[in-house]
Chains A and B, each alone.
Chain A
Amino acid sequence: MQLSKKLEGNKLTITVSGRVDTITAPEFEKYINENIESITELILDLKDMSYTSSAGLRVILKAQKLMSAQGSMTVINVQDDVMEIFDMTGFSDILTIE
């Protein structure tokens, strides 16, 4: 799993690539928590994310909760396999996906 970020004012884009699983999810969570202070618009760009386990889903869910208290979160460029997981679990009903 690789993480990178781009900041434009109060808008932050975090790009996630590779696999998010039990081993890498804590790092993903820490990365989000360390970077979203005073951010009102969070974009999660998942174009290179090939897989997420429930641990990764839970991180996304927590980010969504944090962001709905301070602004908004949008998930973009979701790959088919990951989208299938979002659909299966009901995540596509609770996230803003573009």
Chain B
Amino acid sequence: MIINLKGRIDSSNAAETESKIKEQIGDFTGEITLDATDLEYISSAGLRVILRLKKANASTKLVNCNSEVYEIFDMTGFTEMMNISKAYRKLSVEGCEVIGEGANGIVYRTDPDTIVKVYKNPDSLDEIHNERELARKAFVMGIPTAIPYDVVQVGDLYGSVFELLNAMSFGKLINEGVSVDSLARQSVEILKTMHSTMLKDGELPSKRQEAIGWAEYDVEHLPSQIATKLVDLMTAIPETNNMLHGDFHIKNIMQQNGENLLIDMDTLSMGHPVFEFAAIFAAYIGFGCVDSENCAKFLGITTVQCREFWVSTLKYYFVGKDEEYINNIQKMAEIICYARILRRTLKRFNGENEGQKAVIDFCKNYLVENIPDTQKLYF
């Protein structure tokens, strides 16, 4: 239930305000949100009203406080006692340079150092908070990434503010002639930093759970023995709390003043690093299983460079391991990758598209041929 607070609440109207609110609440026992958008001032008499509301219903929270009102709550210790949040900063993007446009939003440069991604859907507040929380989590845990600022209101829409990197992606650097091998080596450093960051249980979504979901979706499209074994293999991967990026490729690694930074943290999750390799394999080779130009086109480099980046990534990550070990890792990555692509393509398939049909057949054949000899999908 949302209750709007208006104007000033002080000793002259606190009692009246309180009885009005109580009337509104009636015998409602669910979550109560006090919206302070139009609240200009609150005195100690008003604070006592809030306190009693909170006592009567522990879930009571306050949102959209302006800075002065928020300061009163902060000074009096109310912010530590209950959930109180400020109004979103309002930002105008009028006259700002558009630096990118995606399916769900437009990215503007707001000043020399910051960008704002404004979401087209006015109901995307949860998604925005989720994405920003992930970015912030990675940032404070020491992952080199663009600095996430606040969530802002842009007219009727919402946006997320980030640091503008004055940087070149690894993809661009490859096109400028920087060696694929050296960039792959640098990318592995970030990957290792990330994978050695351990999270608490439940702090990020579990990649293993997601992957079991792919396998279960694939079940009815595969011969039963293969299907059962795929689910068993996926389930047998240990649940671990390593931080995973989930979309780790050359377009998402940026270089700024000699420092390498990751962007696009919205696919952050946790789990066994084998899942990261499955996603990396997908980006460089897997999505091109039928048309090898696919990956190259998406990443803006050549097919040969895609393959080279993948091979070098394995070489540097598993330094000191022999060829057989590395081939085995690649096989695990392939199986997880094709299980994912199979499900993803099946979900989109309308029964006609020849390209999609070829991908589905490829993935099925791959899994049928390779699963029987596979012992496990983790290292």
Chain A interface (Cβ within 8 Å of chain B)? 21-22, 53-55, 57-58, 85, 88-90, 93-94
- B164 A90 Cβ-Cβ under 8 A: no
Assembly CA distance A90 to B163 (angstroms): 13
Q: Does B286 touch A at the CB level, under 8 Å?
A: no
- Which residues of chain B are within 8 angstroms of A90 by Cβ–Cβ distance? 136, 139-140, 148
Assembly CA distance A88 to B136 (angstroms): 9
- A54 B140 Cβ-Cβ under 8 A: no
- B113 A54 Cβ-Cβ under 8 A: yes
Assembly CA distance A93 to B166 (angstroms): 25
- Which residues of chain A are within 8 angstroms of B142 by Cβ–Cβ distance? 94
- A93 B147 Cβ-Cβ under 8 A: no
- A89 B147 Cβ-Cβ under 8 A: yes
Contact string, B180-214, partner A, CB cutoff 8 A, digits 1/0?
00000000000000000000000000000000000
Assembly CA distance A89 to B163 (angstroms): 10
Known A54-B163, A54-B164, A94-B140; judge A89-B148 contact (CB<8 A). Answer: yes
Known A88-B149, A89-B148, A90-B148; judge A54-B139 contact (CB<8 A). Answer: no
* Closest A residue, CB atoms, query B146: A54
- A55 B113 Cβ-Cβ under 8 A: yes
Assembly CA distance A68 to B153 (angstroms): 37
- A21 B149 Cβ-Cβ under 8 A: no
* Closest B residue, CB atoms, query A55: B113
Say which residue of B140, B150, B164 sits within 8 Å of A88 (CB atoms). B150
Assembly CA distance A54 to B163 (angstroms): 6
Assembly CA distance A21 to B111 (angstroms): 11
Min CB distance B108 to A, Å, is: 16
Known A89-B139, A94-B140; judge A53-B148 contact (CB<8 A). Answer: no
Give 9 nearest A-B pairs by CB, closest first: A54-B163, A53-B113, A90-B140, A88-B150, A90-B136, A54-B113, A93-B140, A54-B147, A94-B140
Q: Does B114 touch A at the CB level, under 8 Å?
A: yes
Min CB distance A62 to B, Å, is: 8
Q: Does B177 touch A at the CB level, under 8 Å?
A: no
Known contacts A54-B113, A89-B148, A94-B142; 6 additional CB pairs below 8 A are: A21-B112, A53-B112, A53-B114, A54-B147, A54-B163, A89-B149
How many chain B residues touch A (Cβ–Cβ < 8 Å)?
Answer: 15
- Which residues of chain B are within 8 angstroms of A53 by Cβ–Cβ distance? 111-114
- B113 A21 Cβ-Cβ under 8 A: yes
Assembly CA distance A85 to B150 (angstroms): 9
- Which residues of chain B are within 8 angstroms of A55 by Cβ–Cβ distance? 113
Contact string, B119-156, partner A, CB cutoff 8 A, digits 1/0?
00000000000000000100110100001111000000
Say which residue of B114, B136, B150 sits within 8 Å of A54 (CB atoms). B114
Min CB distance B133 to A, Å, is: 10
Assembly CA distance A57 to B148 (angstroms): 11
- Which residues of chain B are within 8 angstroms of A89 by Cβ–Cβ distance? 136, 139, 147-149
* Closest A residue, CB atoms, query B165: A54
Say which residue of B140, B147, B149 sits within 8 Å of A58 (CB atoms). B147
Assembly CA distance A90 to B147 (angstroms): 9
Min CB distance B99 to A, Å, is: 15
- Which residues of chain B are within 8 angstroms of A57 by Cβ–Cβ distance? 147, 163
Assembly CA distance A54 to B150 (angstroms): 13
- Which residues of chain A are within 8 angstroms of B148 by Cβ–Cβ distance? 89-90
- Which residues of chain A are within 8 angstroms of B150 by Cβ–Cβ distance? 88
Known A90-B139, A93-B140, A94-B140; judge A22-B147 contact (CB<8 A). Answer: no
- Which residues of chain B are within 8 angstroms of A54 by Cβ–Cβ distance? 113-114, 147, 163-164
Assembly CA distance A90 to B149 (angstroms): 8
* Closest A residue, CB atoms, query B114: A54
Assembly CA distance A21 to B166 (angstroms): 13
Q: Which of B82-119 contact A (CB under 8 A)?
A: 111-114
Assembly CA distance A55 to B139 (angstroms): 15
* Closest A residue, CB atoms, query B166: A22
Assembly CA distance A88 to B142 (angstroms): 16
Assembly CA distance A38 to B261 (angstroms): 28
